[in-house]
Chain A
Amino acid sequence: MNRRQFLQTSAAASLAPLLGSCGDGVRWEKSAYIKAKKSRVAILAAERYDSALRDTILRGLRLFSLAVAGKRVLLKPNLVEFDPRGVINTHPAVIEAAVDAFRTLGAREVIVAEGPGHRRDNEYILTASGLYDVIREHRVRYVDLNTDDVRPAPVKSSFTRFKELYLPDTLYNADLLVSMPKLKTHHWGGVTLALKNMFGVIPGAIYGWPKNALHWAGINGSIVDINSSLPLPRFAIVDGIVGMEGNGPLQGEARQAGVLVFGSDLVAVDATAARLMTIEPTRVQYLADAGKFLGNVELAAIEQIGETVESRRQDFRVLEKFNYLKKLIG
């Protein structure tokens, strides 16, 4: 342990009572424990945003035998902000291909829903990002989760002071929530992937733009508490065709990675996606915490299918303060 790590640990320990820590006890309800003994994660090669994506995503979904026939599937992309010079958002071609694939598998309805974290202007962000053309052409319903009707949900873990969180009604009316993040570094959390993408289901009308109440409560803890409290099954498709390195999630640089990552265990998906960026997931605070009960973060507990991490790994640049994440274990 170097001097900085020692000081950080000492500070965290001395401040813990003031930060609302629950001490050494279990910090989640029994019903929140959804970690399997082993999780499968698929990495499929996808070099471009083109029409071949439809087959790639269909192939990825079939690897998990998802029972979506007759079900309502909610696709949750990352549309936090738009910058014409950047690669902030989940690419609309990936969303389009996912709509098509879930419909092919017999979904009763596929909807796209997001509560952008910075922008209140849905029409702008949908149009600018290219998603408006997709939802219009494919007649997909879009729901603004920031202003959706809400209901209070009990928080099933205690990594923040939240006892309940307001969640959009649309979550309660869907059968499967598909987190579709971009493969990105993050200037507060280290990485932003399928778990962090769930900030977007938290309604801005209540928690603000940016969702500052979550930042105020602690970003790492909020990510875990939100994901422990979602009322429906989840799946993840990570857009890692072109990711973002450096000062993500908004102002970093594009990085070609050429992959899509799939899985039902969002922790395992994120752990794998982090490894693809040469970032050690067990050192990412919220992944380490989520790995205790929401899913698998350890390499040995993840069955890797499709491409290997080693064959597709890229050395994503991080901000200096996250250099400690760059030493892979195992």
Chain B
Amino acid sequence: MALPEEAIKLLAAGQNGDGGWGAAAGKGSSTEVTALALLALESSEGRSGAVEKARRWLIERQNPDGSWPLSASAKGPSWSTALAMLALGAEQRSRVVKAGLWALEQEGSKPGLLANLVRAIRFEKKVVRLDEDLIGWSWSPDTFSWVEPTGYFLLALKKYRALLPEKSWRERVEQGELMIYDRMCEGGGWNYGNSSVYGDSMWPYPDVTAVALIALQDRRERKQNQQSLGVLTELAQKTDSGLALGWTAICLALYGQDGGAMKKLLAERFAQTGFLGETKVLALAALAAGDGARYFRV
């Protein structure tokens, strides 16, 4: 059986009794994995019983403030809220709006006066090449902004722009975009969010580059996007990973490019490693191999 049929079959078999999915078979359900697995199943079989059960899992776990927790065992507000928003869709308008309003309030932190004072007293040079004043979204509350969570939130907010207050939407989205561009690696592409440390350039990762480009898909004509798209295609072809290839194939589809080569590599990779049994990668591969890119279009 070929990808994506085999991935869908494995996903269906790996759904937990509560309706969600965990990082791997036997692990507790998490919002990130459930959101992506739900979309993968929906893209393949429509609103089946399994999909409805997964949607119910998400709906029942939304926090009163609009956010989603990471999992049943880590209940606080989390970055995976953006993926839950994407998975539920505008059909769950009130939930998505509540989450969007929560997301607009979340800001990555800045080092602040105290840290700058300590740095000055120690005569420290700036060790990283980035603009600390540009705010995006962080992985955990009260910490710095990073590329991947900012990419997810930009994507979700752009998807539901019409449902959210324009002024605050514009402020946050514009600055989030600036933050991502600021973190771009020399020559294009992104890693977790540092382009240089102590003067040494850091290298881009295909998975994060694809997420950033997906979040910036409405800026596709920009030089940085085109440059990074070239970097992504080159990187993904030499990266032995379903995660990298899956995100890349989705990204190429959104940029109107031929993702055939990536899909072929994805299938080969699946045959070799089974993506180490990682549910999230199975879901992304199924989305990439089918027409799942539509869920990420803004």
Show the binding face of A for B, using Cβ within 8 Å. Answer: 4, 7-8, 10-11, 15, 18, 83, 118-124, 126-128, 132, 142, 144, 147-151, 166, 187, 204-210, 212-213, 216, 247, 250-251, 319, 321
B276 adjacent to A208 (CB under 8 Å): no
Q: Give chain A residues whose Cβ lies under 8 Å from the Cβ of B242.
A: 123
Asked whether A8 lies within 8 Å of B122 as measured between CB atoms, the reply is yes
Find chain B residues with CB under 8 A from A132 CB.
273
Stretch at the interface among B27-35, B47-55, B253-261: B27-35
Q: Which residue of A lies closest to B127 (CB)?
A: A187
10 contacts between A and B (CB under 8 A): A18-B114, A120-B243, A122-B278, A123-B240, A127-B241, A166-B74, A208-B140, A208-B143, A247-B198, A250-B202
Chain A residues within an 8 Å CB radius of B198: 187, 247, 251, 319
The residue that B240 contacts in the complex, of A128, A147, A206, A250, with Cβ under 8 A, is A128
Q: Are A83 and B27 in contact (CB under 8 A)?
A: no
On whether A149 and B22 interact (CB within 8 A), knowing A187-B127, A251-B198, the answer reads yes
Q: How far is the CA of A239 from the CA of B155 in the complex (A)?
A: 42
The distance in angstroms between the C-alpha atoms of A210 and B197, with both chains bound, is 13
Chain B interface (Cβ < 8 Å from any Cβ of A): 22-24, 27-28, 30, 32-33, 70-71, 73-74, 78, 109, 114, 117-118, 121-124, 127, 138-140, 142-144, 146, 148-149, 191-192, 197-198, 200, 202-203, 205, 207, 239-244, 269, 273, 275-276, 278, 280-281
| Shortest Cβ distance from residue A155 to the other chain B in the assembled complex, whole angstroms | 16
User: Is A212 in contact with B205, judged by CB distance below 8 angstroms?
Assistant: no
Cβ-defined partner of A206 (8 Å) among B140, B200, B205: B140
Output the least CB separation between A283 and chain B (Å). 16
Given contacts A18-B114, A144-B23, A212-B143, contact A123 B121 (CB under 8 A): no
Contacts of B276 in A (CB 8 A): 122-123, 126, 142
List B contacts of A209 (CB < 8 A): 139, 146, 148, 192
Most chain B beta-carbon contacts within 10 A, residue among A151, A204, A207, A216: A216
Q: How far is the CB of B75 from chain A (nearest CB, A)?
A: 10
